[in-house]
Structure 1
Amino acid sequence: MTTPQPITDSVVLLALRTIHDPEIGTDIVELGLIYQVEIQPDAAVRIVMTTTTRACPASAFIADAVRERLGTIPGIGRITVDLVYEPPWSPDMIGRLVA
């Protein structure tokens, strides 16, 4: 029996790199849509993210994909995805590291 890997920001971000914005085709981490990853002591994970526009028709799809993908990682508990629009996304955010 293998022991699940520790839940770290790196593990979460690597998983999120498999989710692509359906309109742009680039992964949501590379696009700079992920603003924050919070991992609680009980392995609950909170993702603070945005979309390329407030009116993005794929907002719910992307948030659901985040929950679904993170739910496949052994050891992760509750998953919360908060969509925020401050600061607003801009192309300058592409390729930036998550703070």
Structure 2
Amino acid sequence: MTDMSNPSTGPIEGTPLIPPSSTEHPLYEQMVEACRTVYDPEIPVNIYDLGLIYTIEINDQNDVSVAMSLTAPGCPVAGEMPGWVAEAIEPIAGVKSVDVELVWSPPWGMDMMSDEARLELGFM
């Protein structure tokens, strides 16, 4: 008989694929709005509503870490977009530093888009 309660036999169920954002932090909403000013040049929807911003983490010293993805690894602006996101967040009063990391896991999918983005792009 297998001991199903032993987590060493496989991945722990309930572990999120995308770490949670610091949604309770007082600066979080301002950062979301800043991300909404950044657009993929080929898609007429901001990167936040496209679902490309996976995590916005803010520590007690107001250092910001952003995990984001792109619609495809071969995106022509792959090298530039993390800088655009950092430039959008850095001017927010109280922000100490911003680090933006491109991640590919989990891969971005159209199901990550907001309803507004799907409507704008004609998927609804």
Q: Aligning the two structures, in what range does the TM-score lie when normalised by the shorter sequence?
A: 0.7 to 0.9
Q: Which residue of 2 aligns with 1:57?
A: 76
2:87 equivalent among 34, 47, 68: 68
TM-score by structure 1 length? 0.85
Which structure 2 segments of 5+ residues have no match?
A: 1-24, 116-124
SS across alignment from 1:60: coil
Higher relative contact order (CA 8 A, sep 6+): 1
Which structure 1 segments of 5+ residues have no match?
A: 1-5
> How many pairs are equivalent?
91
SS across alignment from 1:20: coil
SS across alignment from 1:88: coil
Q: Which residue of 2 aligns with 1:83?
A: 102
Query: Which structure has the greater CA radius of gyration?
Result: 2
SS across alignment from 1:92: helix
TM-score by structure 2 length? 0.69
Q: Identity of counterpart residues, as a percentage? A: 35
Q: Deviations over 1:32-66 (max 9, x none)?
A: 00110100111000000000011111112211111
Paired AA for residue 10 in structure 1: E
SS across alignment from 1:81: strand
**Superposed CA RMSD:** 1.4
- Aligned-partner Cα distance in 2 for 1:49–1:40: 18
SS across alignment from 2:55: strand
Q: In the TM superposition, what is the alpha-carbon distance from 1:8 to its structure 2 partner?
A: 2.4
